[in-house]
């Protein structure tokens, strides 16, 4: 096959990102403009603020991505954009930019599922080996996906309420830690012991997740102890909460690989930065003979290179989008 160059655009949440990827796995450029500082003061992402920032930034980010890659518009094989899931208003900015680009240049348009993108982050480091199972855990999603080959996805499980990262962020807020709270809980947990009794939500044999009960249990534990005039060490609470999340994620990820009889497990999403999760998953995978792949953090969090990579294999399968492409907030794989 001829060399392919794909421009990726990602605006599903609070990162405005564009990137160029060659042949689905060679990173030519990867530009990310984060809005985290803007949203921090609100304690979370404010959708309209995010959209407004994307609309200011997206065109210059695309230009930067092409410039750094030293690629001209004429050389591109496709423009791949995140179609969903995500914040509708935010998605629409990237989609509109991608459509305008496609309309003006004649470069074909590809609509990419954000979770597919997260899985392909690993592909930019070392080619994916199929069949595989992926655990994608971030502020917006917690999903277990089976992939028999490129561009084929089967969802094995998902969260029924909060995403894992969302639970970290909400518990961090209760503990009066800054947003986003995941890294702060990770750090604080190292100073504590996971001895507090908190629930694990197994949901029977299901590979689905649920974290909202755990979050409520943390809040209740804190309130009840305050009412009794006792003090709970915040570090212990952070460690106990984290232990509960990690235990469930590790167990279900391993269960999913066994169910599918695969030996490749790919971790993705912002929560894969969690040190306890990385350690627990690595040691468990060693025991089980599972090959674990964790891409570097800058590729785990939202970026457009992963969208370009996933988009390349859709492009190769002839899966193009029309100029009527729309955002889908709850798009399923
Ligand atoms: O993938 P990501 O950057 O954006 C989304 O698509 O959501 O993930 C961000 C999420 C946040 O909820 C953040 O608290 C969490 O990842 N996170 C962590 C850690 N670092 C980031 N959660 C636990 N431990 C960490 N070290
Ligand atoms: Zn994401």
Q: What is the 3-state secondary structure (H, E, C) of 174-186?
A: HCCCCCCCHHHHH
Tell me the pLDDT band of 168, cut-offs 50, 70 and 90. Answer: very high
The DSSP H or E segment spanning 118 is: helix 114-120
CA angle 272, 278, 282 (to 5 degrees): 130
Q: Which atom of ligand 1 is nearest to the CA of 242?
A: 23
Residue 161 has pLDDT above 80, yes or no: yes
Q: What is the mean pLDDT of residues 183-192?
A: 98
Query: In 68-92, which positions are buried (b, 16+ CB within 10 angstroms) versus exposed (e)?
Result: ebebeeeebbbbbbbbbbbbbbbbb
Known binding residue 229? Answer is no
Residues of the chain above pLDDT 90, percent: 89
pLDDT digits (tens, 9 = 90+) for 213-252: 999 999 999 999 999 999 999 999 999 999 999 999 999 9
Tell me the pLDDT band of 277, cut-offs 50, 70 and 90. Answer: very high
Known binding residue 169? Answer is yes
Q: What is the mean pLDDT of residues 44-60?
A: 92
| Residues 137 and 284 both lie in one domain | yes
Q: What is the mean pLDDT of residues 97-109?
A: 98
> How many domains would you assign to the chain?
2
- Beta-bridge mates of residue 137: 142
Q: Report how far ligand 2's centroid is from the alpha carbon of 1 (Å).
A: 30
Known binding residue 34? Answer is no
Tell me the residue length of the chain.
333
- ipTM given for this complex: 0.98
Question: If DSSP codes are grouped into helix, strand and coil, which group holds residue 331?
Answer: coil
Residue 108 DSSP label: P
| Whole-prediction pTM | 0.94
Q: What is the mean pLDDT of residues 266-278?
A: 95
Provide the pLDDT for residue 1. 54
Q: What is the mean pLDDT of residues 125-148?
A: 96
Provide the pLDDT for residue 158. 97
Residue 296 has pLDDT above 70, yes or no: yes
| Neighbouring residues of 321: CB distance < 8 A, sequence distance ≥ 6 | 83, 109, 110, 111
| Residues 50 and 165 both lie in one domain | no
Q: Report how far ligand 2's centroid is from the alpha carbon of 94 (Å).
A: 15
| Residues 246 and 311 both lie in one domain | no
| Residues 102 and 149 both lie in one domain | no
Cα–Cα distance, 333 to 326 (Å, whole number): 16
| Residues 70 and 218 both lie in one domain | no
Is 323 part of a structural domain of the chain? Answer: no
Is 190 part of a structural domain of the chain? Answer: yes
Q: What is the mean pLDDT of residues 153-159?
A: 97
Q: Report how far ligand 2's centroid is from the alpha carbon of 310 (Å).
A: 14
Q: What is the 3-state secondary structure (H, E, C) of 297-311?
A: HHHHCCCCHHHHHHH
The reply to whether ligand 1 has any atom less than 6 angstroms from the CB of 138 is: yes
The reply to whether ligand 1 has any atom less than 6 angstroms from the CB of 169 is: yes
More confident residue, 3 or 200: 200
- In terms of DSSP bridges, do strands 142-147 and 154-158 run parallel, antiparallel, or are they unpaired? antiparallel
The DSSP H or E segment spanning 319 is: none
Known binding residue 205? Answer is no
Q: Are 304 and 30 in contact (CB under 8 A)?
A: yes
The reply to whether ligand 1 has any atom less than 6 angstroms from the CB of 244 is: no
Parent domain of 190: 130-294
């Amino acid at each position: 096959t001829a060399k392919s160059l794909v421009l990726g655009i990602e605006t599903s949440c609070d990162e405005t990102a564009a990137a160029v990827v060659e042949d689905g796995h060679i990173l030519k450029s990867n530009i990310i403009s984060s809005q985290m500082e803007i949203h921090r003061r609100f304690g979370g992402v404010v959708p309209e603020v995010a959209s407004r920032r994307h609309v200011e930034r997206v065109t210059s980010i695309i230009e930067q991505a092409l410039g750094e890659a030293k690629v001209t518009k004429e050389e591109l094989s496709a423009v791949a954009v995140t179609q969903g899931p995500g914040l509708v208003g935010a998605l629409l900015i990237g989609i509109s930019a991608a459509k305008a680009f496609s309309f003006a240049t004649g470069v074909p348009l590809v609509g990419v599922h954000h979770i597919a993108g997260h899985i392909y982050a690993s592909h930019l480091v070392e080619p994916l080996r199929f069949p595989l199972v992926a655990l994608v855990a971030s502020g917006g999603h917690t999903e277990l996906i089976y992939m028999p080959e490129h561009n084929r996805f089967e969802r094995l499980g998902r969260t029924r309420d909060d995403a894992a990262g969302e639970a970290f962020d909400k518990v961090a807020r209760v503990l009066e830690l800054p947003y986003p709270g995941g890294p702060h809980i990770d750090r604080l947990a190292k100073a504590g012991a996971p001895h507090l009794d908190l629930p694990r939500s197994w949901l029977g044999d299901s590979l689905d997740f649920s974290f909202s009960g755990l979050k409520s249990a943390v809040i209740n534990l804190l309130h009840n102890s305050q009412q009794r005039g006792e003090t709970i060490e915040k570090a212990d609470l952070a460690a106990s909460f984290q232990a509960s999340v990690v235990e469930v994620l590790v167990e279900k990820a391993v269960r999913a690989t066994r169910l599918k009889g695969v030996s490749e497990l790919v971790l993705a999403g912002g929560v894969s930065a969690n040190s306890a999760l990385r350690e627990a998953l690595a040691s468990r995978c060693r025991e089980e003979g599972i090959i674990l792949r964790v891409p570097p953090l800058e590729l785990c969090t939202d970026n457009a290179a992963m969208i370009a990579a996933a988009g390349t294999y859709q492009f190769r399968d002839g899966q193009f989008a029309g100029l009527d492409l729309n955002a889908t907030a709850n798009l399923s794989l």
